[in-house]
Structure 1
Amino acid sequence: MPRPPTAITTRTWMNAHVRVLNATYEDFDLVPAARAVVLLVEDLALTLVEHSPRFVVRSQHVAIPLPRTIQLFEYVHTPPRPTIDDDTRASFAGVLARDHYRCAYCGVAGATTVDHVYPRSRGGNNSWSNLVACCLTCNNAKSDQTPEESGMPLLWVPRTPRTDRKRQHTIWRELTPHL
């Protein structure tokens, strides 16, 4: 369920954040509202989605509705991000977040440990495909066995998180009614 929008006031509008899209509608950055207003005033960007509830930023000569999403007029080249795949080294915090702190063996919420699907004692690594969130009880029960040996099958297959792709899909969904 979406959270209700926070009321913006003359004292708090600069604390808001605005999503910036490149000229190609790709996610570019999240910037403070003050920076977004500067980009709009300098005609470097246009507002795609206004903040809701509506709030107008005023100066002596200008009144600009506070944006929620803006798009740059000119394409800004960004260096390619490193490719992350299932064999890339993962952090324990990243694994817990990817699995939403749910145990991959029993499904209980609140997992606090990370388990190596293929045990480190047998050459298992710290990759996205070999780590899962796990509750302490299941982690102790599985010990240094594979899921098959311990009789504890995985509830899902561990994969690399696709946060960039998910964020871009969210942006497209938000923009669809406005374009």
Structure 2
Amino acid sequence: MTVHVPLPASPEACPALVLNADYRPLSYYPLSLWGWQDAIKAVFLDRVNIISYYDTLVRSPSFEMRLPSVVSLKTYVKPSRQPAFTRFNVFLRDRFTCQYCGNREDLTFDHLIPRSKGGQTTWDNVVTACSCCNLRKSDFLPREIGMLPAAMPYQPSVHDLHQNGRHFPPNYLHESWMDYLYWDTELEP
């Protein structure tokens, strides 16, 4: 994993990783980040503990502060039990991969049982598909056209989506975040 640390860092290049009160990120994908202004506001409102800092300072005529790089909420936010049924969450469940051919480009979603044949737009009937496969499958049932998905659709838990989100780290990961991200992944020998 590559860690990029811009030098010198402007405040805009210094987002704060936001951890829940149990020191786990609020979400992995998208990663729970606040801009520097929101992080400082939360510090002054006494809503967070500062865990780690950037070397970057912000100043006013009467005040100077190092920007927080990792903050934890003082009050635990209970994660929702069931994720919302959204296009993004379907893609995340399916790891941004067409379930018919494995393509990762030009993604949409497909109804296994087509709507024209009574299929519903639900977790259990929708899979990620590239546009080509979606057009090819058309309004056929998967077995009619020999296009079975790699994985059958299911309603994921928030935990499932967090696990999948770990496979898609953001382009920027500050070194101070590493102790709080991916801490429960298997270590290499």
Native 8 Å contact 1:101 1:111 kept in 2: no
Native 8 Å contact 1:22 1:71 kept in 2: yes
Native 8 Å contact 2:92 2:164 kept in 1: no
2:187 paired residue number: none
2:68 paired residue number: 67
The alignment's C-alpha RMSD in Å is: 3.8
SS at structure 2 position matched to 1:174: coil
SS at structure 2 position matched to 1:140: helix
SS at structure 2 position matched to 1:124: coil
1: distance between equivalents of 2:105 and 2:164?
A: 23
1: distance between equivalents of 2:5 and 2:118?
A: 49
**Farther off after superposition, 133-142 or 116-125:** 133-142
SS at structure 2 position matched to 1:125: coil
Distance change in 2, residues 1:129/1:57 (3 Å): same
**2:180 is aligned with 1:175:** yes
Q: Select 1:103's aligned residue among 95, 98, 107.
A: 98
Distance change in 2, residues 1:142/1:39 (3 Å): closer
Residue 80 of structure 1 deviates from its aligned partner by 6.4
Native 8 Å contact 1:96 1:111 kept in 2: no
Distance change in 2, residues 1:166/1:100 (3 Å): closer
Residue 152 of structure 1 deviates from its aligned partner by 1.3
Residue 126 of structure 1 deviates from its aligned partner by 1.0
Where does the alignment leave 5 or more consecutive residues of structure 2 unmatched?
Answer: 27-31, 170-176, 184-189
Number of equivalenced pairs: 166
Distance change in 2, residues 1:102/1:164 (3 Å): closer
Corresponding letter in the other structure for 1:46: N
Residue 30 of structure 1 deviates from its aligned partner by 3.7
SS at structure 2 position matched to 1:107: coil
Native 8 Å contact 1:48 1:175 kept in 2: no
2:17 paired residue number: 19
Native 8 Å contact 1:48 1:69 kept in 2: yes
Name whichever structure is richer in helix by fraction.
Answer: 1
Deviation string for 1:15-44 (max 9, x for gaps)?
632233343335456433133234445655
TM-score, with length taken from structure 1 = 0.66
Where does the alignment leave 5 or more consecutive residues of structure 1 unmatched?
Answer: none
Distance change in 2, residues 1:81/1:134 (3 Å): same
**Farther off after superposition, 34-43 or 115-124:** 34-43
1:5 paired residue number: 5
1: distance between equivalents of 2:33 and 2:96?
A: 26
1: distance between equivalents of 2:86 and 2:141?
A: 21
2: distance between equivalents of 1:109 and 1:44?
A: 40
Residue 177 of structure 1 deviates from its aligned partner by 10
Identity of aligned residues (%): 28
1: distance between equivalents of 2:181 and 2:88?
A: 33
1: distance between equivalents of 2:97 and 2:106?
A: 5
Residue 13 of structure 1 deviates from its aligned partner by 0.6
TM-score, with length taken from structure 2 = 0.63
2:141 paired residue number: 146
Residue 61 of structure 1 deviates from its aligned partner by 6.1
